[in-house]
Amino acid sequence: EAILKVEGLRKVYPDGTVGLKEISTSVKKGELISIIGPSGAGKSTFLRSINRLNEPTSGKIFIDGDDICQAKGTKLRKMRRKVGMVFQGYNLIKRSSTVQNVLHGRLGYMSSLKGGFGRFSESDTKMALEILARVGLEEQAFKRADELSGGQQQRVGIARAIAQNPSLLLADEPIASLDPASSEKVMSYLKMIGEEDGITTIVNLHQVDFAKQFADRIIGIKAGEIVFDGPPNELSDYT
Ligand code: ADP
Ligand code: ADP
């Protein structure tokens, strides 16, 4: 039943900084979880450990029952494909079109470039346009990524992540660079798509109000440890 199970996850950086002490938790399919906590608490370390963008020092991370910490080569690549990532800085290819950025999620970077600007197979383009419509960007489909507003770029980031058909979606401070109105829009799309596709979504947020508004469950982290885990309405005990 748990799509993600984390056991004794620990991260010590090469300079000796303890990023995570020993985190254990388990996540059910379809939940929208927000990780909150002050700057330096370990939120980003936690999220990036899940697909081993950040290599854990020790612990186990089961995704759909398989421990990604034990996976290598093809197996690791296959497991990583199940995990979609959304970044604070969007990480789009700025000079590529919106459609091409989305196909990057589906086909991988090199294949997404093969078509060149604006030239893709019809079925790929159709798929990308369908996903873009779901985040309200059909009109921006053939614009360059750097012609879009921040909120629009982040919605492309979401579209790219879901184009890879993930079972888990990780968003690391996706709204930290956005104004409140764009933030609310981005969070609404994350929530809506997670619900529609049954994708488990974990979002790092330092804004507690957004976590309360959108999350099914909130995990509070401080100094590398979980200090709160529960529904938003119980959070007053923590803050
Ligand atoms: P948050 O995302 O909650 O702001 P981070 O996960 O980025 O927290 O950081 C957790 C702790 O690990 C902090 O003390 C931070 O300074 C430290 N840290 C993060 N990255 C590195 C690194 N590459 N080398 C050393 N320490 C790091
Ligand atoms: P957001 O999610 O950022 O709120 P919207 O679709 O609401 O996105 O668009 C916000 C506004 O920003 C729109 O009027 C849009 O036309 C405009 N916009 C689009 N591209 C740019 C750009 N490159 N710089 C500034 N504003 C832009």
pLDDT at 106: 77
Distance (Å, whole) CA 21 – CA 6: 13
Q: What is the pLDDT of residue 111?
A: 61
pLDDT of residue 109: 58
Residue 116 confidence (pLDDT): 54
**Nearest listed ligand to the Cα of residue 184:** 2
Minimum-distance ligand 2 atom for the alpha carbon of 146: 23
Q: Distance between terminal CA atoms of the chain?
A: 31
> Is the pLDDT confidence value at 115 over 60?
no
Q: What is the mean pLDDT of residues 75-104?
A: 94
Helix axes 180-197, 150-163, angle to 10 degrees: 10
Q: What is the chain's mean pLDDT, rounded?
A: 93
Look at residue 207 in the predicted model and tell me its pLDDT.
Answer: 87
Which residues have any ligand 1 atom within 6 Å of their CB? Answer: 13, 15, 17, 19, 37, 39-45
For residue 177, how far is its CA from the centre of ligand 1 (angstroms)? 19
The ipTM (two decimal places) reads 0.76
Given this model, what pLDDT does residue 72 score? 96
| Helix, strand, coil percentages, rounded to 5, for the chain | 40, 25, 30
- Say how many Å lie between the CA of residue 7 and the centre of ligand 2: 42
Which residue's alpha carbon is at the smallest distance from atom 15 of ligand 1? 40
Whether pLDDT at 237 is above 70? no
- The stretches of 32-149 forming alpha helices (DSSP H) are 43-50, 73-81, 98-107, 109-114, 122-134
**Residue with the nearest Cα to atom 5 of ligand 2?**
152
Our answer on whether the CB atom of 147 is closer than 6 Å to any ligand 2 atom is yes
Q: Tell me: pLDDT of 210 over 60.
A: yes
Is residue 24 within 8 Å of residue 127, measured between CB atoms?
no
pLDDT of residue 1: 76
Task: For the full predicted model, state whether its pTM sits above 0.90.
Answer: no
pLDDT at 239 over 60: no
Question: Atom 13 in ligand 2: which residue has the minimum CA distance?
Answer: 149
The half-sphere exposure of 8 on its side-chain side, counting CA atoms within 13 A, is 6
Q: CB within 8 A of 155, min separation 6: which ones? A: 135, 136, 137, 185, 186, 189
- φ, ψ of residue 37 to 5 degrees: the values are 155, 160
Ligand 2 neighbourhood includes 209 CB (under 6 angstroms): no
Residue of the nearest CA to atom 20 in ligand 2?
148
Q: Tens of pLDDT along 29-72?
A: 999 999 999 999 999 999 999 999 999 999 999 999 999 999 99
Helix/strand/coil for 84: strand
Nearest to 157 by CA among 66, 90, 104, 237: 90
Checking if the pLDDT of 176 tops 80, the result is: yes
How far apart, in whole angstroms, are the C-alpha atoms of residue 60 and residue 23? 10
pLDDT at 118 over 80: no
Q: Supply the pLDDT for residue 107.
A: 73
Ligand having the closest approach to the CA of 43: 1
Question: How many angstroms separate the alpha carbon of residue 198 from the centre of ligand 2?
Answer: 29
Q: Is the CB of 196 under 6 A from ligand 2?
A: no
Closest CA to 54 of 43, 62, 64: 43
Residue 200 has pLDDT above 60, yes or no: yes
185 CB within 6 A, ligand 2: yes
